[in-house]
Amino acid sequence: MAVTEMEVRGPRVSDAERVLTPDALAFVERLQREFGPRRDALLAARQQRWAALKRGGTLGFLKETASVRAADWKVAPVPRDLEVRKVEITGPTDRKMVINALNSGASVFMTDFEDANTPTWDNMVSGQANLTDAIRREIDFTSPEGKRYQLNAETATLVVRPRGWHLPEKHLQVDGRPIAGAFMDFGLYFFHNVRILLERGSGPYFYLPKTESHLEARLWNDVFSFAQDALGIPRGTVKATVLIEVVTAAFEMDEILYELRDHSGGLNAGRWDYIFSLIKKFDQRADYVLPDRIQVTMTVPFMRAYTELLVQTCHRRGAFALGGMAAFIPSRRDPAVNEQALAKVRDDKQREANDGFDGTWVAHPDLVPTAMEEFDRILGARRDQLDRQRPDVSVTASQILDIRVPGGTITDAGLRTNVSVGIQYIASWLRGTGAAAINNLMEDAATAEISRSQVWQWVRHGASITGGPRITEDLVRQVEREELDKVRLAVGDDSYSEGRYAEAAELFEQVALSKDFVEFLTLPGYDRLG
């Protein structure tokens, strides 16, 4: 292989020579040339579907794929090291996180080039180097305090989340245009590591984010087949779990599994991104206004409908069903906070295990034992719950779209949380850290998306705080000033000025107070990164 027309426009970074080799870049270029036009067409199809919803359209199960839903088929089995998914820990690709997550005792480590990562050039390249070192067991890290981190003998199974189809990589260009970030993330990881993964008895495993349709899953499947053929790897070696975090995909779960049936690792139930997608797709609908996001739990009717359908669909097809995130970060100083939060985590994981999920997500190593205990309690010696077919579940399209939250309210605290956490997360993201600890929770881009989308929805549709004033642009700006003053007081003037908080507030306003709904805040945010 040899690079022909690809141009590397990124600044010099330390790991570039071993990650951005000529053959690896040539492989990524082949992916972009082969599949870039289809990716562009699918992104255009997203806009057309969204426009139809704006004109009053609705969603339902597809008539043209009814035969797929009715037919009797199953996905291919997964390799041994991906058969147990009881607890999956998630986090970015920085060196210390990779070591700690692999050592956490979790079944799987989902390492993230997407929502828990700021796509700076250095992050994207160094992340690839860190994963390559981890797979070869050549990774270590020494903290500024002198503490050394290295891999245990037994580690979690590694699964990689590349960027979604919508995100570009401006530092790699073909014919003068940025390539899809997904092609860089998948291509470099697959090219550098597939053979040694197979030698070690593992394989190239992925999580696919922001998938909106079975046609987008079909594109991924074709990418996998092409990549495996190009490197002489047997088809079916890749395994990919799809995040159902967009409402349109909830109506195509059977079809998504079918498209990836030789490469499927199952489906995962999103929360913040899923709710964000409802607000976005039905942005013109006043009847879709939601209460404070903390009140939109996984047990409200529309979330329960979609997650129960997910378990039933997966198990009918022999695919794993993975539950949602526990984002709590245990406090080192406040046992009372931990006791209360861990009780909620335990209840949430108990519900998922009882519902038939095969595993769940946590954001911190200290949550692994709590989550593992609840799944061990239900599974016992079993590796999964694929035998739980859930014949009791019968979900209609209207149930998936019935977004009523019984007793839901919009509160001043909810507005302030959205504004404050949204801005604090964006500031962290702009500084290069995409997984941010805020108020004892590990937040990623999905938190900022649900925060700003709720503010946009409340302003756009003239919602009011329960028993209080109408939520206007002026009120949001007032709350913003007050919350930023609290941040400045907490961090100090120097840290505030260096922390990009003012710029974060500017970006927050751009996506929360715009006339038209901005599809993803990370797109205008990416323009602000070097």
The predicted-structure confidence for 275-318, as pLDDT tens digits, reads as follows 999 999 999 999 999 999 999 999 999 999 999 999 999 999 99
Is residue 3 very low, low, confident or very high in pLDDT (cuts 50, 70, 90)? Answer: low
The predicted-structure confidence for 330-368, as pLDDT tens digits, reads as follows 988 888 888 988 999 999 999 999 999 999 999 999 999
Please report, rounded to a whole number, the percentage of residues in the chain having pLDDT higher than 70: 99
Q: Nearest 5°: phi and psi at 154? A: -110, 135
Q: Nearest 5°: phi and psi at 242? A: -100, 130
Q: Cα separation of 499 and 185, whole Å? A: 28
The predicted pLDDT at position 336 comes to 87
- In order, the DSSP letters of 144-192 are TTS-EEE--SS-PEEEEEPPPTT-EEEEEEETTEEEEHHHHHHHHHHHH
The predicted pLDDT at position 1 comes to 52
The residue behind tokens 């400045």 is 488
For the segment 82-110, the average pLDDT, to the nearest whole number, is 98
Instruction: Flag whether pLDDT at 254 surpasses 80.
Output: yes
Judge whether 403 and 276 are in contact, CB under 8 Å: no
Write the CA distances from 319 to 77, 224, 384, integer angstroms: 8, 18, 10
Just list the catalytic residues.
161, 444
Q: Cα separation of 114 and 161, whole Å? A: 6
Residue 146 CB partners (closer than 8 Å, separation 6+): none
- Per the prediction, the chain carries an average pLDDT of 97
The predicted-structure confidence for 469-517, as pLDDT tens digits, reads as follows 999 999 999 999 999 999 999 999 999 999 999 999 999 999 999 999 9
Q: Residue 41 burial (CB < 10 Å; 0-12/13-18/19+)? A: exposed
Q: Residue 380 burial (CB < 10 Å; 0-12/13-18/19+)? A: exposed
Q: Cα separation of 319 and 241, whole Å? A: 9
The predicted-structure confidence for 134-149, as pLDDT tens digits, reads as follows 999 999 999 999 999 9
DSSP assignment letter at 326? E
Q: Cα separation of 51 and 283, whole Å? A: 10
Judge whether 163 and 187 are in contact, CB under 8 Å: no
Q: Cα separation of 474 and 455, whole Å? A: 12
Q: Cα separation of 247 and 290, whole Å? A: 15
Please report, rounded to a whole number, the percentage of residues in the chain having pLDDT higher than 90: 97
The predicted pLDDT at position 335 comes to 87
The predicted pLDDT at position 375 comes to 98
The predicted pLDDT at position 4 comes to 61
The predicted pLDDT at position 224 comes to 99
Judge whether 253 and 309 are in contact, CB under 8 Å: yes
The predicted-structure confidence for 181-238, as pLDDT tens digits, reads as follows 999 999 999 999 999 999 999 999 999 999 999 999 999 999 999 999 999 999 999 9
For the segment 109-137, the average pLDDT, to the nearest whole number, is 98
Element (H, E) at 466: none
For the segment 47-62, the average pLDDT, to the nearest whole number, is 97
Element (H, E) at 14: none
Q: Cα separation of 386 and 390, whole Å? A: 10
pTM: 0.97
The predicted-structure confidence for 232-245, as pLDDT tens digits, reads as follows 999 999 999 999 99
- In order, the DSSP letters of 254-314 are HHHHHHTTTTEEEEEE-SHHHHHHHHHHTTT-GGG----GGG--TTSHHHHHHHHHHHHHH
For the segment 71-94, the average pLDDT, to the nearest whole number, is 98
